[in-house]
Amino acid sequence: MNWEDYLSANQNRFVEELRDLVRIPSVSAKPEHMPDVEAAGEWVVTRLKAAGAENVAMYPTAGHPVVYGDWLHAGADKPTVLLYGHFDVQPAEPFDLWDTPPFEAALRDDRIYGRGASDDKGGMMTPIIAAEALLKTTGKLPVNVKFFFEGQEEIGSPTLAPFINANSKMLKADMIISADGGQWSETEPNLLLGLKGLVGCEVTVTGARSDLHSGMHGGGVANALHGLSQIIAELKGRDGRINVPGFYEDVIDLTVEDREAIARAPFDESEYIDELGVPDVFGEEGYSTRENLWARPTLEINGLWGGYQGGGIKTVLPREAKAKITCRLVANQTPDKIYALLKAHIESLTPKGLRVSVERLPGNADPFLVPNGHNATAAVNEVLKEVYGRDPYIVRTGGSIPVMTLLLKELGVHGAVMAFGLDDENIHAPNEFYRLSSYRNGQIAYCKLLERLGA
Amino acid sequence: MNWEDYLSANQNRFVEELRDLVRIPSVSAKPEHMPDVEAAGEWVVTRLKAAGAENVAMYPTAGHPVVYGDWLHAGADKPTVLLYGHFDVQPAEPFDLWDTPPFEAALRDDRIYGRGASDDKGGMMTPIIAAEALLKTTGKLPVNVKFFFEGQEEIGSPTLAPFINANSKMLKADMIISADGGQWSETEPNLLLGLKGLVGCEVTVTGARSDLHSGMHGGGVANALHGLSQIIAELKGRDGRINVPGFYEDVIDLTVEDREAIARAPFDESEYIDELGVPDVFGEEGYSTRENLWARPTLEINGLWGGYQGGGIKTVLPREAKAKITCRLVANQTPDKIYALLKAHIESLTPKGLRVSVERLPGNADPFLVPNGHNATAAVNEVLKEVYGRDPYIVRTGGSIPVMTLLLKELGVHGAVMAFGLDDENIHAPNEFYRLSSYRNGQIAYCKLLERLGA
């Protein structure tokens, strides 16, 4: 049996395995789900062993655990390839907007619906299955392989750096391939050259010692929610420009060639508007929507709350207001500098009668740009061309994969991305799903990639 | 036994009765507490009957019920006095800031701690007890009395007007006295001449059809929380002035005499700051803090929320943001006009790429100003002078008692307020309490008031 037939013959099992994994609510952002993240890691350990990987173990970090396994018998003349993915997921709130429960892993229309199905449990399973198919049908792999899967990607991999640093010998590789990412469409591939970085903060605005009666104290003291709104309104103008002094200082401006490459990838703005259900696009003036999405830094309010959120009316003057704010960064912005600028600016906007404090959120990522002519990227390019029958689009994305930067820093290797999630799969939102067609294609592509890298 | 002795002899029972009533979580704002509001009404029915009132019954309205009872045997030459109070309470959230549970009615330091103890269950009990003391010791009341207690004051009495209108004959009275309100201090009385009105709205800002990944869509579409913050920031300037066009149009400016009367009531701004724990006062420029609190209209954000409010980081671009906004009005602003101005202005501020909708919140009140030389107010003035041994301060308040305006409209009678809550009793906030000394004083004052009105 060749590996293609092996994949076909075992596909039903692979689907049920992915559903099993999606059913584990491994939400890394929530302390109460720590045991679930661990359970997902244990599940991956078992699965890797079944695939034929060796030295498989779960390792603790200062936060969530990682899973490592390898197969290193291809010979010293063959490259060693580190395959990356993550088994943690985003929180599933708001639950009531899901058509089927987020951790049920419902199967319909050749898709699995569930939190993490696309990001990244479906992706992470792909190289494991490819390795199994090659090992079970040929008895070996064409290259030396190291599997490295983490459980904290969705919170920005805050405790991964010291682990990689302490285990750099174990993780050492000639190439890194990430199974976290996506493709252009079901029929068109892309090659990812740029990722945005990330830094975030939580802002707390406080007024009185306790909530007050708005009739007794309205007009006498400042309103924390109003003050926080004033601060946030001043962070970004109606022109979409971020007003934090120094924010754009280190941004590498797009060249004419960059803008041409971005413009080559198809983009229908009115389709984009329809798809999301927004009345219009909105971004930094002077740049196309695609340029803003891919290559300009952003500042977003991820959450804001204070006062009464229940039904009807409550005439309270709330004592406290909070907001979570994250910035997506582009080369050569750094999380440390942007955080310092943001914090200083927010504090400078403190309204009369209120106190403002800013705290850094866990999770950072430097922006990431792949150099021209990079070996793993070239191999991925060829595989995608073969699998899809056409050249991939050269793209960037606003998403962050902090581990790519970490691995570059600690191991000195630029990663390449080969992953099969699609933009419409509601990742980080209700009704996330993963196409089983992508799941099958991904398995084939990873088999081909390992063969090509070993040739 | 005279009524003074009767009050003393039965005081322990009166305290336990008030604790019983506070233990009923009659939160009118929350649908799940509807049965509790009804239970509180039933409790009041039983208590009124025990006091000797006649024709006691609970009546349904389109919302929460009301309780009515009377004693009309003083004779046709005696005035009929309507005594008002309410048995519903504010929501008790946030529960974790209470030292003892809000519906436990803990007794300590000669105080009852619990939601509604001061506002207005303690106040509402006072005239019932006074009538009981007079009836049990003299066999009659000096005036004809009608008790009228409602269960929807804390949500702005939205369905009370049609009830009063349909039952105006039953409620007809020569004078109205409200047992909902407060005094200056434990030793200084006040006479309330002005109440602020109230109108509120809920603003909803929506962007995309669902929450989005801030990396994938940040820079491409507008952020609902950012847009809502921009709108709110523009509603009131850093000078405390409300920027809604036409907002101040109908406001009767304070005269020199008004400002002198307000200045006569003692106010220590730095003490106010210390008491609330704020870094500074904040109000409309050009007016003293006391003038802002008592006699200038306000706009407050009572609640604002959207996106992720949990622990850690979630890089979501939220689809929806909501805010609850209420304005306190002064004569001659009207809720209808202010709502229309506010709605139009908010809609005019709709940010690019977002949708904005404004809905009116239930509950309105017109501002209320007592005319000079008003009979019931004069009687209350004399009783307070006698009980406290000094002239009351002439005051206004930022609070609303919608029923006062309703009763004026429907029955043609201006109400006077005689109530004993104090400003530090945390009404509408955690750790609300009521002083048992106020409870006892109130009972005496109501006996004296009924006697004086009958003389």
What's the pLDDT tens digit per position in A188-232? 999 988 889 999 999 999 999 999 999 999 999 999 999 999 999
Residues A277, A281: Cα–Cα separation, whole Å: 10
Express as a percent the part of chain B with pLDDT over 90. Answer: 88
**Residue B155: strand, helix, or coil:** helix
Q: Name residue, tokens 């509601």.
A: A426
pLDDT band at B246 (very low <50, low <70, confident <90, very high): very high
Model confidence over A140-166: pLDDT tens digits?
999 999 999 999 999 988 899 999 999
Of residues B147 and A410, the one with the higher pLDDT is B147
User: Are A279 and B355 within 8 A, CB to CB?
Assistant: yes
Q: Domain A198-251+297-360: give its CATH code.
A: 3.30.70.360
ipTM attached to this prediction: 0.74
Joined together, the tokens standing for residue A438 give 């992508």
pLDDT at B174: 95
Query: How far does the CA of residue B26 sit from the closest CA of chain A (Å)?
Result: 14
Q: How many CB pairs under 8 A join A and B?
A: 365
b (16+ CB within 10 A) / e for B358-377 = bebbbbbbbbbbbeeebebb
Q: What is the DSSP letter of B391?
A: P
Q: At what angle do helices A375-388 and A436-454 cross, to 10 degrees?
A: 130
- Per-residue burial over A154-190, b = 16 or more CB atoms within 10 Å of its CB, e = otherwise: bbbbbbbbebbeebeeebebbbbbbbbbbbbeeebbb
**A412 Rama class: left (phi>0) / alpha (psi -120 to 50) / beta:** left
B256-312 pLDDT, tens per residue? 988 998 998 999 999 999 999 999 999 999 999 999 999 999 999 999 999 999 999
Chain A residue numbers touching B225 (CB-CB < 8 A) = 232, 301, 303-304, 323
Mean pLDDT, residues B129-158 taken together? 96
pLDDT, averaged across chain B: 95
Mutate to test the interface with A, among B315, B329, B425 (most CBs of A within 10 A): B315
Distance between CA atoms of A104 and A19, rounded to whole angstroms? 8
Are A401 and A180 a contacting pair, CB within 8 Å?
Answer: yes
Q: Calculate how close chain B gets to A135, using CA atoms only, in Å.
A: 36
pLDDT at B404: 83
pLDDT for A394-418, tens place per residue? Answer: 899 888 777 888 888 899 898 999 9
Question: DSSP label at A52?
Answer: T
Q: Which of A311, A326, A362 sits opposite B31 (nearest CB)?
A: A311
Yes or no, beta carbons of A220 and B316 under 8 Å apart: no
Contacts of A244 in chain B (CB under 8 A): none
CA nearest neighbour of A2 among A452, A448, A453: A448
Q: Which chain A residue shows the shortest CA-CA distance from B198?
A: A215
The answer to whether residue A298 scores a pLDDT higher than 90 is: yes
Q: Among the ranges A127-131, A408-412, B259-263, B401-405, which has the highest mean pLDDT value?
A: A127-131
pLDDT, position A198: 93
Min Cα distance A228 → chain B (Å) is 8
* pLDDT tens string A240-265: 999 999 999 999 999 898 899 899 89
Assess whether pLDDT exceeds 80 at residue B417: yes
Q: For B368-395, write each residue's pLDDT tens digit.
A: 888 767 889 999 999 999 999 998 998 9
Q: Find chain B residues with C-beta within 8 A of A353's C-beta.
A: 278-282
pLDDT in tens, B171-227: 999 999 999 989 999 999 999 888 899 999 999 999 999 999 999 999 999 999 999
Render A238-259 in DSSP notation, one character per residue.
TTS-B-STTTTTTPPPPPHHHH
pLDDT of residue A372: 65
For A192, other C-beta atoms within 10 Å of its C-beta total 27
CATH classification for the domain delimited by A3-195+366-454, as one of 3.40.50.1000, 3.40.50.980, 3.40.630.10, 3.30.450.40: 3.40.630.10
The fold adopted by the segment(s) B198-256+296-360 is: Alpha-Beta Plaits (3.30.70)
DSSP assignment of B312-379: S---EE-SEEEEEEEEEE-TT--HHHHHHHHHHHHHHTPPTT-EEEEEEPS--B--EEPPTT-HHHHH
What gap in Å lies between CA B378 and CA B385, rounded to an integer? Answer: 11
pLDDT, tens digit (0-9, with 9 covering 90-100), for A75-106: 999 999 999 999 999 999 999 999 999 999 99
Domain boundaries, given as residue ranges, for chain B: 3-195+366-454, 198-256+296-360
Q: Is residue A366 packed enough to be buried (19+ CB in 10 Å), middle (13-18) or exposed (0-12)?
A: buried
Q: Taking CB atoms and an 8 Å limit, are B305 and A304 in contact across chains?
A: yes
How many angstroms separate the CA atoms of B85 and B150, rounded? 7
Q: Rounded CA gap, B252 and B245, in Å? A: 17
Contact in structure between A247 and A341 (CB atoms under 8 Å) = yes
Whether B219 sits inside 8 A of A284 (CB atoms) is yes
Residue among A29, A233, A429 minimizing CB distance to B233: A233
Tell me, what's the pLDDT at B403?
80
Q: State whether A276 and B90 contact (CB < 8 Å).
A: no
